[in-house]
């Protein structure tokens, strides 16, 4: 029967159409999601509690400057997590992304003693990262987010004066790291 058209049963034809839409639609959907994520990632979005500032320094310089600012106030640097190094260790690539874990044990310990689940959110963290255009960014949770979202989910509250103090300290850490 060379040259004759083969007729597909209706069910197979429907499955073939679904698969064609799936094969074409899924890559387009993922491409749109990736574009939206990249566009949103380089901006500060106050509604999500993140503050993102562009640094005028390299990733390593920004990390060093942030650590110096934190230590200069007598705070503790607990660790730095280098996500790009972790990716490289398993044969993957990732642009620089390092999380600095920092805090004040003399302030956080009592709160964690009475509310153990607070330890999942503390100590505080700052992310130093590089985007696809080689711009370097510093991202951290705003004091407002910590006060209105993090502490309340553990049954805790922070007085307004403490929030103002946190905002001031975080802004100073960020300024020293990025300017």
Q: 59-72 and 160-178 helices cross at what angle (nearest 10)?
A: 140
Q: How far apart are CA 17 and CA 34, in angstroms?
A: 26
Distant-in-sequence, close-in-space partners of 88: CB < 8 Å, separation ≥ 6 = 94
Give the residues across from 103 on adjacent strands.
76
Predicted local distance difference test score (pLDDT) of residue 103: 96
Q: How far apart are CA 162 and CA 151, in angstroms?
A: 12
Predicted local distance difference test score (pLDDT) of residue 14: 66
Q: How far apart are CA 36 and CA 25, in angstroms?
A: 16
Mean pLDDT by 10 residues, the chain (179 residues): 58 63 50 47 64 98 99 98 97 98 93 94 97 98 94 91 92 98
Distant-in-sequence, close-in-space partners of 156: CB < 8 Å, separation ≥ 6 = 111, 115, 118
């Amino acid at each position: 029967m060379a040259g004759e058209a083969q007729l597909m049963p209706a069910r197979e034809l429907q499955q073939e159409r679904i698969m064609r839409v799936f094969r074409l639609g899924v890559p387009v959907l993922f491409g749109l999601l990736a574009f939206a994520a990249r566009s949103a990632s380089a901006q500060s979005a106050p509604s999500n509690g993140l503050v993102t500032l562009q640094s005028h320094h390299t990733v390593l310089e920004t990390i060093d400057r942030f650590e110096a600012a934190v230590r200069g106030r007598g705070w503790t640097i607990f660790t730095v997590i280098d996500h790009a190094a972790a990716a490289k260790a398993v044969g993957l690539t990732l642009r620089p992304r390092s999380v600095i874990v920092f805090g004040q044990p003399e302030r956080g310990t009592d709160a964690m003693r009475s509310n153990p689940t607070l330890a999942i959110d503390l100590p505080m963290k700052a992310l130093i990262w590089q985007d696809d255009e080689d711009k370097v960014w510093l991202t951290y949770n705003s004091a407002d987010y910590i006060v209105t979202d993090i502490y309340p989910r553990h049954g805790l509250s922070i007085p307004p004066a403490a929030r103002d103090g946190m905002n001031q300290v975080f802004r100073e850490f960020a300024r020293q790291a990025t300017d």
